[in-house]
Amino acid sequence: MDNKYFNSKSVELKRSQINPASYNPRTISDEGKKALKRSIKLYGVVGGIVVNQATGYTIVGGHQKVAVLDELNKYDKSTHENDYTLRVELINVDEKTEKQLNITLNNPNVGGNWDFDALARIVPDIDWKDAGLTDADLNMIGVDYLLQTEEESSIADALSDMMASVTEQKEAEKAAKRLERAEKVAHMKEVKQQVKE
């Protein structure tokens, strides 16, 4: 590509060829890791894993994705058992530039901001958990996270209809039992009255 703003090339490398950056300042919570794993299972790896050839094939961006892929592929770092192929964006920069890029790639100050109104309009059309959103995210943007998809609504309606007929049947059975009891009580009173006479 002849564009000076694209300084990487997409290549395939074996997992055993790349190494995490020992200085990587990023961590991920268990909840975040579960969401990332779910996303990778649903959509595959979308977005780059950046590796710097100049410093020994060091991961610059994508540590969490690689960690999840290691789990999914049952990769053993010590024996390289279950080695697998990754598509990465390969760069060739000095260590200082690599570290700066590591921070820049994950820096929220460099990314965009959510338009919460636009996001709130999208949420009813998607499975928000598959998009990596949490209950707290939905509360923050002011969306009722109990929203249902059309399919969920139709299932809920069908269940309500079924439960309504079951409830009606139970109420009818209760009424019949009350009537039967009332008849027995009336009969017993009648018998007692006859015995007294």
Give 21-79 pLDDT, tens digit per residue: 999 999 999 999 999 999 999 999 998 899 999 999 999 999 999 999 999 999 999 99
Specify the pLDDT at position 66. 98
Centroid of chain to Cα 31: 9
Nearest of 110, 5, 4, 7 to residue 54 by alpha carbon: 7
* Average per-residue pLDDT for the chain: 88
Look at residue 133 in the predicted model and tell me its pLDDT: 86
**Domains (range + CATH), the chain:** 9-111 (3.90.1530.10)
What was the pLDDT predicted at 149?
Answer: 59
CA–CA gap between residue 172 and residue 64 (Å, rounded): 59
pTM over 0.95: no
